[in-house]
């Protein structure tokens, strides 16, 4: 087998330059006599006669000859020369005849040179400028259509291994088998096992799907092809399919290797019966992808990894066995996972002593790996702003609040009365939460405004990771959300717009209890709502009649009203502590959970 690298083809501009050089040499060596041979010799008398007749346009008089441009009887211009003896009389004669005397004559241009200037040179310039612009535009010229544009990383160039991925142990275990196959394919071939052709990584944004794919390539030490699904979508029909063919052609040449397609839902959406406009191009691209995945030999070691946030939108043909055989969830990390992720990202940051990563992990329930990385970075930036050389626990806790609620608005001008309303509102939340069972402990209360628009907030942190929520716990959450408004009503006898977010959260939980969790006596265990895009916000849509939807609304309203009444009752029975805590919060602006519980338990 000949492994010698093929010599790269020379660009077409190279051949244009060769042709131009040949023509220039011919013009310099073969045709220079054209100019001199074109001068017509006349005697001196004829020259004087032409001067007197006014046919001479211009002349150059030298020591023993004169060269001049004149018009013949047919009106055409020619250049002549004549042997003379220069004298003053000739000069006067030329002057009196109006001849341009002493100026250079116009040169007759060689026709070959004229052709080059008129035709060849513009074409060469056009090709050169076109090539230059195409490179500046990222190779979008006629010669690059159908090229995949995939980024190829050789062996260790990804720089990532499984040690760089934390909090996704189940996903790593599922991918380790692929790495093992790429290391030792014979072990699997001997028993007759075939490697899955493709693995689909699904999960919310920021959970590390792309990082996992790079880690697989780094562990296996094989080439890694990375391309986004949107790069296949082209303006011209058929170009996306051509890019798919080119990608798999490159992959087969580099096998064993890993091909990673990010955001595959861009080209892998379910096909419909009606093709409109640009959808035809997307479907052709998908059809080509399906064909290529069927066509290549998995034993060669070409593994297809893909990532998406919308697995429900993918075409069924793409998910069948033989294509994407495995679906690997990459979910939001649990408590242990969040702590491990924080430690991984803290390796490259100078951290202070006695950093409690577990406390930060408990305060960031529901955070993705990307958000946790951002929290560590924000803590490092805060340490620099404060003039310290290492990150402290305070920096990490403040960065959690920055990610959740934004930066502090230190220059916000809030009146004393509004501060008082915010203080009672936040203490109302905390007091209702503390007086209920099965409620998360209060971690912090603050009335310092934030850039997110919040004038204050109450942070509750679960002591342990929770995966289930009982009906009583859900109802208590709603009551806690209504506690702020209840405090405003009791103390000030009016309500403000400050409870807008509380109302949204309470309504969302109450509606889910009725339509999805089967916690309603009216509808029992009937599913009245479905979740769409579970990884992108979890939007819901009702799946019931208008009559039933009206009953659902009434049930939700009754549930929230009941929780609101409960919150009002708790605060009425604890007015003394409500006033004491609100006054302390007004003075301090921020109090910890320990301070809150100390005041609450004091007599």
What pLDDT does 114 receive? 64
Q: Are 581 and 590 in contact (CB under 8 A)?
A: no
Token pair, residue 397, equals 């806790």
- Rounded to whole angstroms, the Cα distance separating 603 from 601 reads 7
Q: Over 50: is that where the pLDDT of 1 sits?
A: no
What pLDDT does 201 receive? 92
Task: Name which of 155, 124, 154, 118 is nearest 20 in CA terms.
Answer: 124
Token pair, residue 150, equals 């995939």
Task: Name which of 395, 407, 405 is nearest 359 in CA terms.
Answer: 395
Residue 376: pLDDT band (50, 70, 90) is: very high
What pLDDT does 580 receive? 92
Task: Name which of 323, 305, 322 is nearest 182 in CA terms.
Answer: 305
Higher local confidence (pLDDT), 159 or 191:
191
| Cα atoms in the 13 Å half-sphere on the side-chain side of 10 | 7
**Weakest-pLDDT range from 215-229, 381-395, 489-503, 580-594:** 215-229
Q: What angle do CA 338, 344, 346 make, to 5 degrees?
A: 100
**Weakest-pLDDT range from 51-55, 489-493, 585-589:** 51-55
Q: What are phi and psi of 350, to 5 degrees?
A: -75, 110
- Rounded to whole angstroms, the Cα distance separating 414 from 586 reads 12
- Rounded to whole angstroms, the Cα distance separating 30 from 127 reads 28
Token pair, residue 564, equals 């609101």
User: Partners of 472 in the beta sheet?
Assistant: none
Residue 589: pLDDT band (50, 70, 90) is: confident
Q: What are phi and psi of 381, to 5 degrees?
A: -65, -40
Residue 4: pLDDT band (50, 70, 90) is: very low
Higher local confidence (pLDDT), 299 or 483:
483
What pLDDT does 557 receive? 95
Domain boundaries, given as residue ranges, for the chain: 151-329, 335-405, 416-601
- Rounded to whole angstroms, the Cα distance separating 27 from 393 reads 81
Highest mean pLDDT pick, 193-197, 404-408, 475-479, 597-601: 475-479
- Rounded to whole angstroms, the Cα distance separating 456 from 451 reads 11
- Rounded to whole angstroms, the Cα distance separating 261 from 213 reads 10
Q: Are 12 and 101 in contact (CB under 8 A)?
A: no
- Rounded to whole angstroms, the Cα distance separating 555 from 449 reads 35
Residue 173: pLDDT band (50, 70, 90) is: confident
Q: Exposed, middle or buried, 573 (CB in 10 Å: 0-12/13-18/19+)?
A: exposed
Beta-sheet strands, E only, within 432-505 = 442-446, 457-460
What pLDDT does 475 receive? 94
Q: Over 80: is that where the pLDDT of 400 sits?
A: yes
Q: SS in 3 state form for 192-212?
A: CCCCCCEEEEECCCCCCHHHH
* All residues at 6 or more sequence positions from 541 whose CB lies less than 8 Å from its CB, including other chains: 529, 530, 532
Query: Within 10 Å of residue 468's Cβ, how many Cβ atoms?
Result: 5
What pLDDT does 24 receive? 63
**Weakest-pLDDT range from 8-22, 38-52, 472-486:** 8-22
Q: Are 303 and 198 in contact (CB under 8 A)?
A: yes
**Weakest-pLDDT range from 165-174, 215-224, 272-281:** 272-281
Give me the architecture of the 335-405 domain, per CATH.
Answer: Orthogonal Bundle (1.10)
What pLDDT does 6 receive? 47
**Range list of H helices, 331-460:** 335-346, 357-363, 369-385, 393-405, 416-434
Q: Over 50: is that where the pLDDT of 139 sits?
A: no
Query: Within 10 Å of residue 253's Cβ, how many Cβ atoms?
Result: 9
In the residue annotation, 155 being an active-site residue is answered as no
Task: Name which of 430, 441, 439, 360 is nearest 401 in CA terms.
Answer: 360
What pLDDT does 13 receive? 58
- Rounded to whole angstroms, the Cα distance separating 387 from 397 reads 17
User: Which class is domain 416-601?
Assistant: mainly alpha
What pLDDT does 555 receive? 94
- At which residue do the structure tokens 């080119």 appear? 246
Higher local confidence (pLDDT), 504 or 19:
504
Token pair, residue 55, equals 């046919």
Residue 35: pLDDT band (50, 70, 90) is: very low
Q: What is the mean pLDDT of the chain?
A: 79
Over residues 430-455, mean pLDDT: 85
- Rounded to whole angstroms, the Cα distance separating 575 from 447 reads 20
* All residues at 6 or more sequence positions from 401 whose CB lies less than 8 Å from its CB, including other chains: 450, 459
What pLDDT does 455 receive? 84
State percent of the chain over pLDDT 90. 22
- Rounded to whole angstroms, the Cα distance separating 494 from 137 reads 62
Residue 34: pLDDT band (50, 70, 90) is: very low
Over residues 202-207, mean pLDDT: 89
| Cα atoms in the 13 Å half-sphere on the side-chain side of 483 | 27
User: Partners of 304 in the beta sheet?
Assistant: 198, 259
The pLDDT tens digits for 313-332 are 888 888 888 888 888 899 88
Over residues 160-187, mean pLDDT: 84
Cα-Cα-Cα-Cα dihedral sign, residues 441, 446, 447, 451: negative
- Rounded to whole angstroms, the Cα distance separating 576 from 593 reads 19
What pLDDT does 97 receive? 65
Catalytic residue among 231, 263, 401, 426: 426
C-alpha 306, offset from chain centre:
16
Residue 150: pLDDT band (50, 70, 90) is: low
The pLDDT tens digits for 510-527 are 999 999 999 988 888 988
Residue 141: pLDDT band (50, 70, 90) is: very low
Q: Which CATH number fits domain 151-329: 3.40.50.2000, 3.40.50.300, 3.60.140.10, 2.40.110.10?
A: 3.40.50.300
Task: Name which of 479, 482, 475 is nearest 519 in CA terms.
Answer: 475
Q: Over 90: is that where the pLDDT of 505 sits?
A: yes
Residue 5: pLDDT band (50, 70, 90) is: very low
Task: Name which of 42, 291, 301, 67 is nearest 178 in CA terms.
Answer: 301
Q: Exposed, middle or buried, 507 (CB in 10 Å: 0-12/13-18/19+)?
A: middle
Higher local confidence (pLDDT), 177 or 538:
177
Would you tell me the crossing angle of helices 546-572 and 575-588 to the nearest 10 degrees?
90
Q: Is this structure's pTM higher than 0.75?
A: no
Cα end-to-end distance, the chain, whole Å: 90
The pLDDT tens digits for 562-573 are 999 999 999 999
Over residues 138-146, mean pLDDT: 45
Q: What are phi and psi of 79, to 5 degrees?
A: -115, 130
Q: Over 90: is that where the pLDDT of 481 sits?
A: yes
Q: Are 308 and 300 in contact (CB under 8 A)?
A: no
Q: Are 323 and 293 in contact (CB under 8 A)?
A: yes
| Cα atoms in the 13 Å half-sphere on the side-chain side of 511 | 17
Q: Over 90: is that where the pLDDT of 44 sits?
A: no
- Rounded to whole angstroms, the Cα distance separating 152 from 155 reads 10
Q: Indicate the DSSP class of residue 119.
A: I
Q: Over 90: is that where the pLDDT of 425 sits?
A: yes
């Amino acid at each position: 087998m000949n492994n010698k690298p093929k010599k790269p083809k020379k660009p077409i501009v190279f051949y244009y330059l060769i042709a131009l050089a040949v023509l220039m040499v011919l013009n310099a060596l073969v045709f220079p006599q054209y100019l001199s041979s074109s001068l017509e010799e006349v005697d001196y008398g004829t020259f004087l006669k032409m001067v007197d007749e006014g046919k001479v346009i211009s002349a150059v008089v030298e020591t023993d000859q004169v060269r001049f441009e004149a018009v013949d009887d047919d009106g055409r211009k020619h250049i002549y020369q004549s042997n003379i003896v220069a004298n003053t009389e000739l000069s006067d004669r030329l002057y009196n005849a109006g001849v341009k005397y002493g100026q250079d004559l116009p040169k007759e241009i060689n026709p070959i040179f004229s052709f080059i200037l008129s035709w060849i040179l513009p074409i060469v310039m056009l090709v050169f400028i076109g090539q230059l612009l195409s490179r500046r535009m990222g190779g979008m010229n006629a010669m690059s259509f159908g090229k995949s544009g995939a980024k190829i990383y050789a062996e260790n160039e990804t720089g990532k291994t499984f040690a760089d991925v934390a909090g996704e142990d189940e996903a790593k275990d599922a991918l380790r088998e692929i790495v093992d196959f790429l290391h030792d394919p014979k072990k699997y071939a001997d028993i007759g096992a075939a490697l899955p052709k493709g693995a689909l990584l699904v999960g919310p944004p920021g959970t590390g799907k792309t990082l996992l794919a790079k880690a697989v390539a780094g562990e296996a030490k094989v080439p890694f092809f990375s391309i986004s699904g949107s790069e296949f979508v082209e303006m011209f029909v058929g170009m996306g399919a051509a890019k798919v063919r080119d990608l798999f052609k490159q992959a087969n040449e580099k096998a064993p290797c890993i091909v990673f397609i990010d955001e595959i839902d861009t080209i892998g959406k379910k096909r419909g019966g009606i093709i409109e406009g640009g959808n035809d191009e997307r479907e052709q691209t998908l059809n080509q992808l399906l064909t290529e995945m069927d066509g290549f030999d998995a034993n060669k070691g070409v593994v297809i990894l893909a990532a998406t946030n919308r697995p429900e939108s993918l075409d069924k043909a793409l998910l069948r066995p033989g294509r994407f055989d495995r679906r690997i969830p990459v979910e939001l990390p649990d408590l242990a996972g969040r702590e491990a992720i924080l430690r991984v990202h803290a390796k490259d940051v100078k951290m202070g002593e006695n950093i409690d990563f577990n406390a930060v992990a408990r305060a960031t329930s529901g955070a993705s790996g990307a958000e946790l990385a951002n929290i560590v970075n924000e803590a490092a930036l805060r340490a620099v702003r404060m003039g310290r050389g290492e990150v402290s626990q305070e920096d990490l806790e403040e960065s959690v609040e920055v990610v959740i609620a934004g930066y502090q608005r230190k220059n916000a001008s809030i009146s004393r009365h509004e501060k008082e309303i915010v203080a009672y509102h936040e203490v109302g939340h905390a007091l209702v939460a503390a007086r209920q069972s099965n409620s998360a402990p209060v971690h912090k209360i603050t009335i310092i405004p934030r850039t997110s628009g919040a004038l204050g907030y109450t942070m509750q942190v679960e002591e342990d990771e929770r995966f289930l929520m009982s009906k009583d716990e859900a109802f208590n959450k709603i009551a806690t959300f209504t506690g702020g408004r209840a405090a405003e009503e009791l103390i000030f006898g009016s309500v403000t717009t400050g409870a807008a977010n509380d109302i949204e959260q309470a309504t969302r939980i109450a509606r889910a209890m009725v339509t999805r969790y089967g916690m309603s006596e009216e509808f029992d265990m009937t599913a009245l709502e479905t979740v769409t895009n579970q990884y992108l916000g979890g939007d819901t849509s009702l799946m019931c009649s208008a009559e039933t939807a009206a009953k659902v609304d009434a049930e939700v309203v009754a549930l929230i009203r009941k929780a609101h009444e409960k919150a009002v009752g708790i605060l009425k029975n604890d007015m003394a502590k409500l006033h004491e805590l609100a006054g302390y919060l007004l003075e301090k602006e921020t109090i910890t959970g320990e301070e809150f519980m100390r005041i609450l338990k004091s007599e």
